[in-house]
Chain A
Amino acid sequence: MSKIWLIIKREYISRVRKKSFIIMTLLTPLLLATFMILPGLLISMSGDSETVMVLDRSGLFEGKLENKKDLNFIPLAGTLDQAKTIYQETDNTALLYIPEMSLDNPEGFVVYGKKNISIQTQVRLENMLEKEIESQRYLASGLDREMLDKIKANVSLTAINLSDQGEKDNNAIITSVAGVVGAVIIYFFIFMYGVQIMRGVIEEKTSRIVEVMISSVKPFQLMMGKIMGIAAVGLTQFLLWIILSFIAVTGVSAAFGVDAAPSPAAQYAAGQVAAQGEESGGDDEAVQQDSEKDEFANTIQDVKQSFANLNIGLIFICFIFYFLGGYLLYGSLFGAIGAAVDNETDTQQFMMPITIPLVISFIMSYSLVLKNPDGPVAFWMSIIPFTSPIVMMVRVPFGVPAWELLLSMGLLVAGFIFTTWIASRIYRVGILMYGKKVNYKELSKWLFYRV
């Protein structure tokens, strides 16, 4: 046991001290922080209030275009050419020209700008003009805008799961996100660190240290020590990423005085609000703002509720279990590949059968499993050990019967023992083979060598 510990320690320390590890560990949170902060920073930079000069020849919009906090209007009078000259002398954003026209035929609106006018501003102006024209048409036809707002209905659907455990709020989006994030992390972890195991074994073979090593330790100890040491490196990196990202994001946002771009939950809430848009128009700004706030608060509440209803504890335990189980299952196979070949270019043919189930389960979890988390494909893929770490992770937040979960976990453990057995048989023969190109037939023979 102490030998395995020594091996784990060496594998861990030699990797953690590498420049590439340190750079990756520091750079990723910085990049993440940049990606989170940058949009916010850009928005705030371009977010200065805009001023639009309005030349209203129709007289329909006089006093109707109200100033918003980031959009001001300055009414002008005179001819278009005069207005243009005045506008040229200011540094206002745009000049809005409203020609003489009737309510029935609103045409000929033009926006002049010194620079390109953002789509956002254009759309906003269009909306405001449309709203105003609509209001005036309502008035003309004897309808009241307020009356119409009262008539308007706003329905939001709350999905509730009726299951054995009683009623549960079900917010499909939040549920999917939690599972998919876990699955993606597992997927990348298996690949990144599985390949590191393989490279480590190849390195030991090519540097000819391996026979020196196995005259002191058993091949199995050498293999497991490497797998565990690299797992520890991976966990360290993830932990550092989480901590450093947090520090970086708060640090950068404090330094620039900018909020981070909204989290997915907040974005979702904002999206809901945006869907309702500035519908209520400019008339009752105050009322609308209040309702917007309510709306936003409600949605946030919904999201929080959904998170609370997700069984965070269960998801976390499952994540750790499938994370380690999947890594160990594939890690030993990657180790076996490393032992079977002489250099990395020879690994291709053996990588295929390992990569395929991983990639398929990754693709499936996005398409079929998310769409129908209780369907037969999802069921079988979450039971079979080679695909279960990813697929089950996606399914868990939707709620999985206990027997399925236990069966899947049990099979994963069995699968891990099985692949480790295979891998150790290949490993102990392979590490002492030099300069021999092996194929599958040869490998299958190795399984039954007496050593």
Chain B
Amino acid sequence: MSILKIEGVTKTYANHTALDNVSFEIPQGCIFGLLGPNGAGKTSLIRIITQITGADTGKIYFRGERLKPDHIREMGYLPEERGLYKKMKVGEQLLYLAQLKGLSKSEATARIKAWVDRFEIREWLGKHIEDLSKGMQQKVQFIATVLHEPALIILDEPFSGFDPINANLIKDEILSLRDKGATIIFSTHRMESVEELCDNIALINHAQKVLDGPVKEIRDAYKTDTYQIIGNGQLMITSPDFDVLEQHDNHGIFRANVKLLNNASPNDLLRYLIQRVEVHSFVELVPSINDIFIRKVKETHHV
């Protein structure tokens, strides 16, 4: 079942189109990557989902219902431009934001306690935000985003500005939230950063959806049947089933990218190689999301 269904959403501003007839679905309980270069329309789409702005045309369904203001409570949004009230204390700030999401004071307090213990930041509660380092503030922001246990968590460029330790901490938290049933939308232009994290993705470029679906399927669809072989010996491939795309020799060590033709299987290639050279490494060259994106964009441009 999909938690969010976007149908033909279009959004134009005075002088440009931010989203042009975008449609896709986000399955429940997955980590969803909303990918695309800067200015593609990712943030516009997120602002429509979080009801900060409205779409010109198109419909959005949240758990099968038309999006309505009540749904805000079920969403947690960490914007790209994020911050906190500098003069407020950490505890007060978290309580305030949680209450605005509709939590009662006692419930919010209990959850804040649980989270600060988890992040081992209990002693910060009485500190002013302006006295915290940037990394500390990011932790507080993350807690504020997920404190009301939203079913849909939307993170816009979540790792920009995070140091690697915090980024890993947040990644672990995101995975555990998904395991508890939450759906997470990642929006980023740094596609490699979320590749291993995302179950599903949608690629957006110039206000249009280029591609969407499960990462595995997309990769399979863009598989090129190319393998990288590293080994020892003199490699000379003459079989018509294999096409050598690239080959480097260096003091008897070779590295070659070979494409399978005529429905040959990787095992065929391996068998062929074993008879001739010593194989050290045999790896399928899987296209990265980045490669796929670039290919896809080029294709659409040629068309």
Contacts and interface: CB of A to CB of B under 8 A. Distances in A.
Chain B interface size, under 10 / 10 to 19 / 20 to 34 / 35 or more: 20 to 34
A215 B72 contact: yes
Interface stretch (B50-58, B260-268, B274-282, B283-291): B50-58
Contacts of A451: 53-54
A216 B56 CA distance: 21
A373 to B, nearest CB: 45
B83 A14 contact: no
Interface in A207-237: 207-209, 211-217
A403 interface: no
Nearest to A15: B87
A214 B77 CA distance: 10
Contacts of A208: 79, 81-83
B81 A6 contact: no
B100 A6 contact: yes
Please indicate which of the listed interface residues B50, B53, B72, B83 has the most CB atoms of chain A within 10 Å of its own CB. B83
A258 B291 CA distance: 88
B99 interface: yes
A216 B81 contact: no
A450 B82 contact: no
B77 to A, nearest CB: 4
B137 to A, nearest CB: 10
B101 interface: yes
Nearest to A3: B100
B75 interface: yes
Contacts of B54: 450-451
A449 B85 contact: no
Contact of A216 (B14, B97, B141): B97
Contacts of B14: 445, 449
A35 interface: no
Interface string B99-120: 1110000000000000000000
Contact of A432 (B52, B87, B97, B100): B52
A207 B96 contact: no
A216 B101 CA distance: 6
A438 to B, nearest CB: 13
A216 B72 contact: yes
A215 B84 CA distance: 14
B9 interface: no
Interface in B56-91: 56, 72, 75, 77-79, 81-88
Contacts of A212: 77-79, 82-84, 97, 141, 144
B53 A211 contact: no
A195 B245 CA distance: 68
A10 B52 contact: no
Interface in B209-242: none
A172 B189 CA distance: 72
Given A207-B84, A212-B83, A217 B100 contact: yes
A138 interface: no
Interface in A1-46: 3, 6-7, 10, 14, 18
Nearest to A209: B83
Interface string A198-209: 000001100111
A209 B52 contact: no
Nearest to B98: A216
Please indicate which of the listed interface residues B79, B82, B88 has the most CB atoms of chain A within 10 Å of its own CB. B79
Contacts of B84: 207, 209, 212
B146 to A, nearest CB: 13
Given A7-B100, A211-B77, A215-B50, 20 more contacts: A3-B100, A6-B96, A14-B87, A207-B86, A208-B79, A208-B82, A208-B83, A209-B82, A209-B83, A212-B79, A212-B82, A212-B144, A215-B77, A216-B100, A434-B81, A449-B13, A450-B54, A450-B56, A451-B53, A451-B54
Interface of B: 13-14, 47, 50, 52-54, 56, 72, 75, 77-79, 81-88, 96-97, 99-101, 141, 144
29 contacts: A6-B96, A6-B99, A6-B100, A10-B96, A14-B85, A203-B86, A207-B83, A207-B85, A208-B83, A209-B82, A211-B81, A211-B82, A212-B79, A212-B83, A212-B141, A212-B144, A213-B100, A214-B52, A215-B50, A215-B72, A216-B72, A216-B100, A432-B47, A434-B81, A445-B14, A449-B13, A450-B56, A451-B53, A451-B54
Interface of A: 3, 6-7, 10, 14, 18, 203-204, 207-209, 211-217, 432, 434, 445, 449-451
